[in-house]
Amino acid sequence: MINKTKASNTIFQTGHQYHSSRLYTYIVDLIRQGRIGKIIAFECQWNRHGNWRRKVPNPSLEKAINWRMYRAFSGGLTAELSSHQIDFVNWVLDETPKQVIGVGGVDYWKDGRETFDNIHLTYSYSNGVKAKFSCLTSNAKDGYQIKVFGDRGTIIIDRNNAWFYPEGKKNKVMGDVDGVSGATAQWDQTKGYNINVEHLNPTKQALLDFKAAIINNKTPLSNITSGARTAVCVQMALDAMYQNKIVKWNNDIRF
């Protein structure tokens, strides 16, 4: 795909739509400006309660309809859910991980599936940052969430909202937070100050950005390179879990 894209005059956009979210781009800028201090770690989850299975009218159509359950056709939870959050971490840090360890299993939905119904991954980056990713299919508590931990504060993000939770007494950093949010910050005891940014649904915004990239002949933020890097990270995680080993980044890979 990389070679085809480089040889083509058409615009390629990868479907990691949070690159287009004005909330997410704002947060990435905040983090890079040092508003949460030195990044220490990430904790990301995407929990659901459901078996991911679709009804099959004829057994011969099982793999065609429930392709997500089979390793020949799908990377499972890692590829379809965690990849969006892995892409976010790579984006924030502007680098790829050194290695990954992980475990998972078919431990709840005993229905013949091959891809795991729960995954737990830890990526290590060269700057010492560790990023954890988990997906459950038998408990939906807190659903989708990203936590970015810094030595000055924490940013918590869901699909549509974000909060800044400062280290130490909140009054000491209130001025900074007001400037960060661009509006009067509202304190939530469990989530800190809200970050107010007007934004569209990320998928809708991604389609609009794709249209603009085509019209203006510009490379999208979510492009072949960012997508390929995330795809490599996904494969690293699958190898780590399926083969029960530490998988390191292949430095021979060129984008």
- pLDDT by 10s per residue, the chain, length 255: 999 999 999 999 999 999 999 999 999 999 999 999 999 999 999 999 999 999 999 999 999 999 999 999 999 999 999 999 999 999 999 999 999 999 999 999 999 999 999 999 999 999 999 999 999 999 999 999 999 999 999 999 998 899 999 987 554 444 444 444 444 456 666 668 999 899 999 999 999 999 999 999 999 999 999 999 999 999 999 999 999 999 999 999 888
Sign of CA dihedral 102, 103, 108, 112: positive
Q: What is the pTM of this model?
A: 0.91
Task: Map residue 150 onto helix, strand or coil.
Answer: strand
Whether the CB-CB separation of 117 and 141 falls below 8 Å is answered with no
CB burial string 135-172: b at 16+ within 10 A, e below? bbbeeeeeebbbebbbeebbbbbeeeebbbbbeeebee
Architecture of domain 2-160+199-248 in CATH? Answer: 2-Layer Sandwich (3.30)
